[in-house]
A and B are shown apart, each in its own frame.
Chain A
Amino acid sequence: DGGITQSPKYLFRKEGQNVTLSCEQNLNHDAMYWYRQDPGQGLRLIYYSQIVNDFQKGDIAEGYSVSREKKESFPLTVTSAQKNPTAFYLCASSMGKLEAFFGQGTRLTVV
């Protein structure tokens, strides 16, 4: 069953802790993206990667880090430097001229 899988669906962390969100795709897509979705603000780009071992900052990269060691995986780490980490996080992938395909999302709550 092809697609993008984000895990976990819900994540709770204490303030000050780093947390890593998983994103895996078996679509053989080159490009992968991380977005943050907040009510009234739509989707804002955090990081994106066009190929393995390469990634670029998006509009709101501060307090986040990523890696792209494998084509199918693009994990996002929310660090303690992120001032307002509680949000819904969406991972997506695309290939060439195709549209972006999205995962189900991870809702992160920092308490």
Chain B
Amino acid sequence: AQRVTQPEKLLSVFKGAPVELKCNYSYSGSPELFWYVQYSRQRLQLLLRHISRESIKGFTADLNKGETSFHLKKPFAQEEDSAMYYCALRDRPRDNYGQNFVFGPGTRLSVLP
């Protein structure tokens, strides 16, 4: 079954320190991975997707098919990065007809001053 795991429920780092939020997946086809972020009292929103290979708010993520990972990284954490982060996978369950998104359990990032 398609699955996304995020081993850390809570990650605390100091401002200016590097941060890495881990994500591993299992998927039988060609995976498409996303990172979503949920700031306090705001809706869940897309942070970045692997096919864009972009850097958003200083965050990057590289898809490693060999290790089935899609870890989110930022070299210097800021206090405003404190939020809940979810890794997600696009699933196409019926021979490419239809799709849904499978989410990991989430990691709460706390950036301390």
**Any A CB within 8 A of the CB of B44:** yes
Contacts of B45 in A (CB 8 A): 102
Most buried by A among B9, B88, B105: B105
Report A34 CB to chain B, min CB distance, Å.
10
Most buried by A among B9, B49, B98, B104: B98
Contact pick for B43, options A44, A48, A58, A104, CB 8 Å: A104
By DSSP majority rule, is chain A's interface helix, strand, loop, or mixed? strand
Report B37 CB to chain A, min CB distance, Å.
11
Most buried by A among B46, B49, B99, B100: B100
Report B24 CB to chain A, min CB distance, Å.
14
Contacts of B105 in A (CB 8 A): 40-42
A45 and B44 contact, CB distance less than 8 A: no
B100 and A33 contact, CB distance less than 8 A: yes
Contact pick for B86, options A42, A58, A94, CB 8 Å: A42
Knowing A102-B43, A102-B44 are in contact, say whether A42-B100 is a contact too (CB < 8 A).
no
Contacts of A44 in B (CB 8 A): 103
- Which residues of A in the span 30-48 have a Cβ within 8 Å of any Cβ on B? 31, 33, 35, 40-45, 48
**Any B CB within 8 A of the CB of A75:** no
Report A110 CB to chain B, min CB distance, Å.
23
- Which residues of B in the span 60-113 have a Cβ within 8 Å of any Cβ on A? 86, 88, 93, 97-106
Contacts of A102 in B (CB 8 A): 43-45
Q: How many angstroms from the CA of A40 to the CA of B86 in the assembled complex?
A: 11
Give B47's nearest chain A residue, CB to CB: A99
Can you show 8 pairs from A to B with CB atoms below 8 A apart? A31-B99, A33-B100, A43-B103, A94-B99, A94-B101, A100-B88, A102-B44, A102-B45
